[in-house]
A and B are shown apart, each in its own frame.
Chain A
Amino acid sequence: MTTLSSIKLIKKIWLIAANEWQYWLRSHLSLGATGIFLVLILTTSFLTTAHMDSENHLRSHQQSEAEETFLSQPDRHPHRMVHYGHYLFRTPAPLAIFDPGLDPVTGQAIFLEGHHQNSVMFAESTASADLGGLSWLNPALVYQLFAPLVLLLVGHSSVVREREAAGLLPLLALGISPHTLVFGKALALLLFSLLLLIPLLISSTMAFMSGESSMTLLLLFLNYAIYIAIWVVLTLLVSIAFTKRSTVLAAMTGLWFSFSLVLPSIAVSITADTVPVAGKIETDLAMLSSLRKLGDGHNANDPAFQQLRADVLKKYNVERIEDLPVNFRGIVAMEGEQKLTKVLNEFANLRMAAELSQTEHLADYGWLTPMLAITVISRTLAGTDLAHYHRFQREAEAVRLAFVQGLNRAHIETLSYEDDINRNKNEDAWQRARVDAANWQVLDAFQFNTASLTERINSASPSIRILLAWLIALLGLLLWSCKRVMP
């Protein structure tokens, strides 16, 4: 093909696309559907941004308040501080303003204390409102669910309209090839898709200002563009396949219901059955049984710590624990915490692995419906998926262990064994068993951050591959079906 004929061809494709736009601009259905979508996406974007912004400020404020409260505690027995505990708050990821993902349905705060890995809980009473009504609607869901609906309403008649009005023959008789016609229609729909994606660019700009990387935002945009392109191609395929506009609309509506509502629901049910995750009560009972074998870290005479006692006495070359230069009760507390944490982490890792395996299994259903693939990609890149929830739990556990063991160290080094065991004898003994509040400086300021872009891309890559495969397969089908565009 010469350069001149290529330019002529591109010009014809543009002309067809421009004419399609002209048709939409004069069609009440297209204008109405687009208008409703834009109002919906802009409203949900504004509301989600405002909500997440307020959550971010609230949780950051609560975090610094919790840290201040802990650090400002007076002189005390160090083990009382272990049980006094501390709170951590999960601040939302910058892209949570676009896709809050699991944020509304998983807890946002966790209470850290010795000997327990507490569950993550909801930080404030208003969070319960997130679970009801229409609050589940967010910009990501609007794109995943409603953008295809608008595309099918606007674009379903693209080819079938020409066929129904007996317009194909005159067009083709002008020397327009079926491919040129379909590419022109596809270009029009793709440009329309870009219009639909403008609110995503606005959300991305705000996320960028909150610290999200431009590469993440670009990837997110590209994946949504691919998802919408899949629906563009599907719409064109159905518009080519049938001869009546009403049949095309019915078929597209059926496809939308199947891909967006029915198949995801079926996939979730099947996954829950085929990859079960043990419930909390069941897990807690099994964990409790393992913890009982460890001994009581509060009791220096617990038989479980006899070997530790022997080892410590040998190390310091003394006969009695009273002669040790360190507080043996603190050593037992530290050892007990270490062993307990190991068991807690084993159970926590098993639970998280089972939950992740369930999520990965569900993501495989992206081969059945692209909506599941984009849901996974969106949450992963936004940093609001299950892996990030687990990441928060792991970071919280690291903070818990560090602060508990820091306090146990103070117990070992700054409080004598004698003062410790006699602390309940009288008021003076009670006062002597307190350590200086300067020892509470075991906490670093906590800020929950999303995983690196590489980690997020690695997590999302199976679903990205699925989405690309959908697009490539459908494009192949579209090229093949162009031959059906005949009078």
Chain B
Amino acid sequence: MVEAGEIYALLGGNGAGKSTTLLSFLGFLSPSSGHVRINGKDVNYDITAARNVIAYLPESASLYEHLNAHENIHYFLQLSGSSASQEDINTALDQVSLVVDARQRKLSEYSKGMRQKVAIALAILRDTEILLLDEPTSGLDPSAIDEFHQLIRSLADTGKIVLMVTHDVYGACQVADKIGLLQNGVLVGEFMANEGSIDTETVHKAFSSNSSPS
């Protein structure tokens, strides 16, 4: 269970089921057992309603390279049924600290970090209750990771639920409120990140892909 205003990091090794869990939240996969609930309602009961409250950020922000930041945000907002003025878009881009000069350039000229910023600006403008982040810091340099963590924190502080999957234990401890350890599709442990209560043995086990959940 993830509460409003909380950042929940789901940790696990390759094949642990992290991305599968996210796909279950989006209704693309059904859990083999148990339920996925958003606001108390089963996701599969009304997939469209579930997707409307979720902003999903994949590992590499899948925006269009032939469009610039403004055009990308405008297009995806319209597709999701929302809209925003140029001013709103600029405000969101300011919030994610995307340099002004870059905003009219095509995304094919952007670094991965810059693309992530555009994707987050889009999520801000969509103003959904939930943010699902799939390996959001993978491939980012340390300063970009710090910047990203600050952004995520500021979004959570506005009451949004952030669920991120990652294999970056250190990063998760830095940004998350709560950490879940996933192994072979099973949650094998859950810790409060700020209490220093992480059981390193369990973490080690969770990242060992061949071990069975205890």
Contact = CB atoms under 8 A, between A and B. Distances in A.
Interface string B39-61: 00000000010011010111110
Interface residues on A, range: 20 to 34
B62 A165 contact: yes
Given A15-B75, A19-B75, A166-B60, A173 B26 contact: yes
Contacts of B54: 173
Chain B contact-residue range equals 20 to 34
Nearest to B51: A175
Given A8-B81, A175-B81, A167 B62 contact: yes
Given A166-B62, A170-B56, A174-B76, A22 B67 contact: yes
Interface in A8-67: 8, 11-12, 15-16, 19, 22-23, 26-27
B80 A174 contact: yes
Contacts of A175: 48, 51-52, 80-81
Nearest to A27: B66
A173 B58 CA distance: 10
B138 to A, nearest CB: 13
B66 A26 contact: yes
A402 interface: no
Interface string B59-90: 11011111100010001101111000000000
A313 interface: no
A456 B81 CA distance: 50
A198 interface: no
B79 A176 contact: yes
Contacts of B26: 169, 172-173
B131 to A, nearest CB: 12
B144 interface: no
Nearest to B80: A174
Contact of A174 (B51, B57, B59): B51
A15 B28 contact: no
**Residue with the greatest number of chain A CB neighbours at <10 A, chosen from B23, B26, B52, B59:** B26
A176 B54 CA distance: 13
A173 B56 contact: yes
Contacts of A166: 58-60, 62
A487 interface: yes
A171 interface: yes
A323 B200 CA distance: 135
A486 interface: yes
A487 B23 CA distance: 9
Contacts of A11: 78
Given A15-B78, A175-B81, A23 B62 contact: no
Contacts of A23: 64, 66
Nearest to A23: B66
Contacts of B75: 15, 19
Interface in B12-51: 23, 26, 28, 48, 51
A293 B143 CA distance: 106
A176 B28 CA distance: 12
Nearest to B50: A175
Given A22-B66, A175-B51, A170 B58 contact: yes
Given A22-B66, A23-B66, A174-B76, A169 B81 contact: no
Contacts of B28: 169, 172, 486-487
Nearest to B67: A22
Contacts of B79: 12, 15-16, 171, 174, 176
Nearest to A167: B62
Nearest to B60: A166
Contacts of B58: 166, 169-170
A300 to B, nearest CB: 89
Contacts of B63: 167
Contacts of A173: 26, 51, 54, 56
A61 B81 CA distance: 67
A301 to B, nearest CB: 91
A11 B57 CA distance: 24
Contacts of A19: 64, 67, 75
Contact of B62 (A15, A169, A176): A169
Nearest to A165: B62
Nearest to A175: B51
B62 A170 contact: yes
Nearest to B119: A170
> Which of A27, A166, A170 has the largest number of chain B CB atoms within 10 A?
A170
Contacts of A165: 62, 65
Contacts of B59: 166
Nearest to B56: A173
Contacts of B66: 22-23, 26-27
B64 to A, nearest CB: 7
A167 B63 CA distance: 7
A166 B63 CA distance: 9
15 contacts: A16-B79, A27-B66, A166-B60, A167-B62, A167-B64, A169-B26, A169-B56, A170-B62, A172-B28, A173-B51, A173-B56, A175-B51, A175-B80, A175-B81, A176-B79
Interface of B: 23, 26, 28, 48, 51-52, 54, 56-60, 62-67, 71, 75-76, 78-81, 106
Closest 3 CB pairs of A and B: A167-B62, A173-B56, A26-B66
Given A15-B75, A165-B65, A487-B23, 10 more contacts: A15-B78, A26-B66, A166-B58, A166-B60, A169-B23, A169-B28, A169-B62, A170-B76, A174-B79, A486-B28
